[in-house]
């Protein structure tokens, strides 16, 4: 069920007053309490030992257009606040002016900001000037945003984290910035700065969500104390050249087909009762096994051997033993060749077995 755009942040005790409602999304002004909350959260992301990154956060904070911000409901009682960055920010950060830049904040059910990213959207439709409504709800919950193109997720300090490419409501690829090699230490009696080489690891998917292939592209190097303004886009907040941690959160879906039952008259034949399920899950870097399952659905349940006078009427039940285990139970009556028999079967999916 598609979530509708929210016009109030009641869960966080904040009010949004509707200023206008255009075709793309509802626009709103925001009260001082929300402005203060966002400002304090951005200040808290600054690291004293990283002055260039702190300056990047300050630049973003001073160039947010709250008058054009809007909110979207999210699952679990959370809400997503989208605040556009203005043209001045893009010019100063040397971002293509056709790129749509937004600060995207996730508020938990208690009203606390638990995550924030600068998201750069390069639209497939070059006529778009804003992100279509419900896009971020879909990115975080359904994996089926209507907006096609590339979404590059950065930290609020400008650090490149990951990017998602969608086309026709399908996730086509995910790119993660990862450390692949580390150099430095000592070369004889000479101390050499510790450095990390960073790569964009991109995984491409077919229309069913399964992995096709992966590519690796070198994007840069960071060394001890990196905060020189040139390579800060790869620098974590810890000391040294960097670290191998990744940070991401997005929804993914994959179609899985499995055998429910054999042909009663010829069990060894290729004619079966099948089930195709759309398994949805959220990939989160900090969670066990990299994420958790969300809301699945059954797409089809064909009976290969059933004739015109036969019928197969199944019922499905989805359950989770843990957030990382999705179980599908199917049962129903098979009316076949003037006989009636009960069919029952199940399958379990684990997060570790899902395409990442």
Half-sphere exposure of 44 (CA within 13 A, CB side): 10
Taking only the tens place, the pLDDT of each residue in 19-56 is 333 333 343 546 888 999 999 999 999 988 888 889 99
Q: How far apart are CA 81 and CA 102, in angstroms?
A: 10
- pLDDT recorded at residue 180: 74
- pLDDT recorded at residue 196: 78
Least confident of 172-176, 216-220, 244-248: 244-248
Q: Is the pLDDT of residue 296 over 90?
A: yes
Arithmetic mean of pLDDT, 284-305: 94
- C-beta of residue 74 within 8 angstroms of C-beta of residue 104: no
Q: Between the CA of residue 257 and those of 85, 240, 260, 302, 306, what are the distances in Å?
A: 43, 47, 9, 11, 18
> pTM of the entire structure?
0.85
- pLDDT recorded at residue 348: 96
Domain residue limits, the chain: 5-251, 253-353
Q: Count CB-CB contacts under 10 A for residue 157.
A: 24
Q: How far apart are the first and last CA of the chain?
A: 24
| Mean pLDDT of the residues in the chain | 85
Q: Count CB-CB contacts under 10 A for residue 109.
A: 13
Taking only the tens place, the pLDDT of each residue in 224-277 is 655 544 455 566 665 444 445 578 999 999 999 999 999 999 999 999 999 999
Arithmetic mean of pLDDT, 199-207: 96
Half-sphere exposure of 189 (CA within 13 A, CB side): 0
């Amino acid at each position: 069920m598609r979530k509708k755009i929210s016009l109030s942040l009641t869960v966080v005790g904040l009010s949004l007053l509707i200023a206008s409602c255009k075709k793309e999304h509802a626009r709103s002004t925001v009260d001082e309490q929300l402005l203060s909350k966002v400002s304090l959260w951005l200040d808290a992301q600054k690291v004293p030992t990283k002055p260039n990154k702190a300056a990047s956060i300050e630049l973003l904070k001073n160039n947010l257009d709250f008058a054009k911000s809007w909110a979207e409901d999210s699952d679990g009682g959370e809400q997503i606040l989208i605040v556009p960055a203005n043209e001045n920010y893009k010019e100063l950060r040397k971002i293509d002016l056709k790129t749509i830049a937004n600060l995207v904040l996730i508020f938990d059910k208690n009203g606390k900001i638990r995550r924030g990213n600068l998201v750069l959207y390069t639209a497939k439709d070059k006529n778009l000037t804003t992100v279509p409504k419900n896009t971020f709800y879909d990115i975080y919950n359904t994996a089926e945003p209507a907006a096609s193109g590339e979404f590059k997720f950065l930290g609020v300090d400008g650090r490149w984290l990951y990017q998602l490419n969608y086309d026709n409501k399908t996730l086509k690829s995910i790119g993660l910035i990862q450390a692949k090699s580390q150099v430095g230490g000592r070369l004889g009696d000479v101390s050499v700065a510790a450095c990390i080489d960073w790569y964009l690891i991109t995984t491409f998917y077919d229309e069913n969500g399964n992995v096709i292939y992966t590519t690796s592209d070198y994007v840069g190097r960071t060394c001890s104390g990196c905060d020189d303004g040139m390579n800060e886009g790869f620098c974590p907040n810890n000391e040294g050249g960097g670290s191998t941690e990744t940070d991401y959160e997005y929804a993914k879906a994959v179609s899985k087909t499995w055998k429910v039952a054999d042909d009663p008259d010829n069990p060894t034949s290729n004619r079966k009762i099948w089930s195709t399920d759309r398994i949805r899950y959220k990939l989160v870097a900090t969670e066990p096994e990299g994420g958790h399952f969300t809301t699945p659905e059954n797409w089809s349940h064909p009976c290969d051997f059933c004739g015109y006078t036969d019928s197969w009427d199944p019922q499905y039940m989805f359950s989770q033993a843990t957030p990382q285990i999705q179980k599908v139970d199917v049962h129903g009556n098979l009316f076949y060749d003037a006989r009636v028999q009960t069919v029952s079967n199940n399958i379990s999916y684990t997060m570790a077995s899902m395409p990442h």
